[in-house]
Structure 1
């Protein structure tokens, strides 16, 4: 009886964790003080903006959105960005794997006076999950997506998952 109860409790806990939605994940990790833009809206031809990739270099090399400007996360330099993009009213969309690191970078831009900054809801994973094109370091379309970590890779439903070589990252996406 005790074993059955422990098993059922474990199964219930696993089921709750497995059913977490992307909304739940982003609400848990983000402050939601940067507006989101959907992948569908960003993919529309009328959407004109600067697209910023706020992931690490190895992630960008494997997969990124077409014409995305690599700015990084760990070594992001706000002053360099401001020099390259001085128009603080220009539309900017920041993305990462799911939308957590990109919110951090977007907040830095907002605090620096950029007025039209959005966070890509679900990041590059959601972009690929909706069958939009991804490109590699040679600017060729690819099906490979860098997953940041094994733990976060569960959110990527389509494409070929590429895992980090020697990484124990699991707390950020």
Structure 2
């Protein structure tokens, strides 16, 4: 099933996904709005949220939102999340590349009693497309974003795209 989903995503991306409106289209198709969205504009400068990065470790190491904590994108990574966020009323914003993997993790958190969980609309791609800053593993601002793969990378317009070291990189 996992591979079927990846094939469907790749086919979807092959037919011209790029830019902001394509992020909107992808989210309408692949998400079910089970986790409320928060926009980049609403999140900018707002320090009340704990930011959790639900991408693979390699993606996080290239760049991430300032003060974000990496938790991973697998169900097995949820124990790490529970240890990082033991208080279930902590305001949380989850993000990934565009918001699909983060919705999956958000659903699990909500199911397990977390009360204030949001999904960053458009993920780190939209964040960077809007010219907002991202930081590397040394805490320095960077223009680099791990673009997941070349198909999804078409949605990233305002960054230096990085590929590599992913098991399923296309």
Assess same fold via TM > 0.5: yes
Q: TM-score, normalised by structure 1?
A: 0.82
Deviations 1:98-140 (A, max 9, x none): 0000000111100110010000000000000111110011111
Contact 1:41/1:47 (8 A) holds in 2? no
Greater alpha carbon shift after TM alignment, 23-32 vs 71-80: 71-80
Is residue 53 of structure 2 the alignment partner of residue 56 of structure 1?
A: no
Query: Which residue in 2 is equivalent to 1:21?
Result: 22
TM superposition shift of 1:18: 9.0
Kept after mapping to 1: 8 A contact 2:58/2:166: no
Aligned to 1:71: 71
What's the counterpart of residue 123 of structure 1? 123
TM-score (norm 2): 0.83
User: 2-side partners of 1:73 and 1:126: how far apart?
Assistant: 19
SS in 2 for 1:77: helix
Q: In 2, distance between residues paired with 1:28 and 1:72?
A: 23
Deviation at 1:47, TM superposition (A): 4.6
CA displacement 1:20-58 (0-9 Å, x = unmatched):
632221011111111100011111x34511000000011
Q: Which runs of 5+ in 1 are unaligned?
A: 1-13
Instruction: Name which one, 1 or 2, has greater alpha-carbon Rg.
Output: 1
Instruction: Rate the CA distance shift 1:86–1:28 in 2: closer, same or farther, 3 A.
Output: same
Q: Secondary structure at the match of 1:52?
A: strand
Give per-residue Cα distances to partners, 1:47-84, cap 9 Å, x unaligned: 51100000001100001000000001136432332233
2:96 paired with 1:89: no
RMSD between aligned residues: 2.3
Which secondary structure does the structure 1 equivalent of 2:118 belong to?
strand
Please report how far the alpha carbon of residue 150 of structure 1 lies from its aligned counterpart in structure 2 after TM superposition. Answer: 0.5
Structure 1's 89 and 140: CA in aligned 2 closer, same or farther, altered over 3 A? same
Which fold has the larger relative contact order, with Cα–Cα distance below 8 Å and residues 6 or more apart in sequence? 2
Aligned residue pairs total 156
Distance verdict in 2 for CA 1:15–1:96, change over 3 Å: closer
